[in-house]
A = this chain, B = another copy of it.
Amino acid sequence: MDKSRLPTSDTISRITGVSKSTVSRALKGHPSISAATRERVVAVARELGYAPNAVARSLVTRRSGVIGFIIGDMSNPFYPEQLERLLRLLALRDMQLMMFHIPPGQDVADIIPVLLQYQLDGCLVASVELSSRAGDLGARHGLPTVLINRIPANHHACAVLCNNRAGGERIARFFVERGVRRLAFVAGKALTSTSRDREAGFMAGIEATGTALFARAVGDYTFEGGYRAGLDLLALPERPDAVFSANDIMALGLLDALRAQGVAVPAEIAVAGFDDIRAASWPAYDLTTITQPIDTLLLRAIDLLAQRIADPTLPPETLYVTGQLTIRGSAC
């Protein structure tokens, strides 16, 4: 009935008459244990609802089966969507996840001591806004770390990224093929590699056709920022024909700004985003965007992490996955 009364390996040992060592080995299917002994131990353990205390096990094995998930601001729904998939994928491997939220203004470096206390097996860093010092976790503290959609500084950590550049280029090509000429870009946070790479790809795609970028605004990766960016673009002496927003959540704000100003989408201005968050497919927005292959991305990240947990001497690696253009009503 009480927490302190959970059965221990000693309980099983006393009931079955074999030693704790044997209980431990029997339960983890160690080959040297006789079938008869194993069966008896397993039966008693099951009957008592016994499971080895994960804390004690972690202390001796130096493996906790828990990985840390580090995120910053979650107002972009893309993060929660990743989280849900991640939990599903980890459950398949019997791994648990501990959350670490870095509030605005703080940095990964600030919580490293806390992180280190918990004997985590590894870390996934999912915020594009967090400093590159996240790589320190791996390099200086021996904690296997994989960055998601973030370029590791000094190659000190692993990373899995959606090919942001290719995605930006794809959008440019899509617009240009449809004869759009006055192309605008709405940037996310200036310091993030995702925004810069998506922009670089977009620029490359435009320049390949001999044209130049028509206008640029900044939306800081937020809905409200996207809304303001939309108003900024509409205030220009001449309006763009199409806008590529560096992520979806800004694109939604942008679409609402256009709607508020009576602009017809896509007839007057076409809009495309990046991520394919759930809201992108809601009829109110119906956003053309680059769909990030989240499951693949996370699967690769988990694989990379699992390999480093198994062998910490493995060198860092950076992997790319490719997003697909999803055409919807906002640009078609």
Residues of A within 8 A of B (CB): 1-6, 49, 51-56, 58-59, 62, 64, 66, 69, 74-75, 77, 79-80, 83-84, 87-88, 91, 96-101, 103, 113-114, 116-119, 140-143, 223, 227, 252-253, 255-256, 259-260, 278-279, 282-285, 312
List 6 contacting pairs A-B, 8 Å CB cutoff, sorted by A.
Answer: A2-B312, A49-B113, A74-B83, A79-B80, A83-B83, A96-B118
Q: In the complex, A284 Cα to B252 Cα: how many Å?
A: 9
Q: Closest Cβ of chain B: how far from A52's Cβ, in Å?
A: 7
A143 CA / B1 CA spacing, docked (Å): 9
Considering only CB atoms, which chain B residue lies closest to A283 in the complex? B256
Please name all residues of chain B whose beta carbon is closer than 8 Å to the beta carbon of A99 when the two chains form the complex: 69, 83, 87, 96-99
Instruction: List the B side residues contacting A2 at CB < 8 Å.
Output: 142, 312
A119/B62 in contact, CB under 8 A: no
Contact flag A75-B278 (CB < 8 Å), given A2-B142, A54-B118, A87-B99: yes
Nearest chain-B residue to A252 (Cβ)?
B282
List the 7 closest pairs (A to B, CB-CB), nearest first. Answer: A80-B80, A87-B101, A3-B142, A256-B283, A54-B117, A284-B284, A2-B142
- Which residues of the other chain, B, contact A103 by a CB distance below 8 angstroms? 88, 91
- Beyond A98-B98, A143-B3, A256-B282, whether A119 also contacts B74 by CB under 8 A is no
Residue on B nearest A223 in the bound complex, by CB: B282
Residues of B within 8 A of A58 (CB): 55
Shortest Cβ distance from A64 into B: residue: B55
Q: A99–B91 Cα gap in the complex (Å)? A: 11
Q: List chain B residues, Cβ under 8 A from A54.
A: 117-119
Distance (Å) between the CB of A258 and the closest chain B CB? 10
A141 to chain B: closest residue by CB? B3
A253: B residues at CB distance < 8 A: 282
Distance to closest chain B CB from A212 (angstroms)? 32
- The closest CB in chain B to the CB of A3 belongs to B142
Given contacts A88-B101, A227-B283, A256-B284, 14 further A-B contacts (CB under 8 A): A1-B142, A3-B62, A3-B142, A6-B141, A53-B59, A53-B117, A54-B117, A54-B118, A77-B77, A91-B101, A99-B99, A223-B282, A252-B284, A259-B284
Q: How far is the CA of A253 from the CA of B284 in the complex (A)?
A: 9
Complex Cα–Cα for A56 and B55 (A): 8
CB of B101 within 8 A of CB of A84, answer yes
Chain B contacts of A142 at CB under 8 A? 1-5
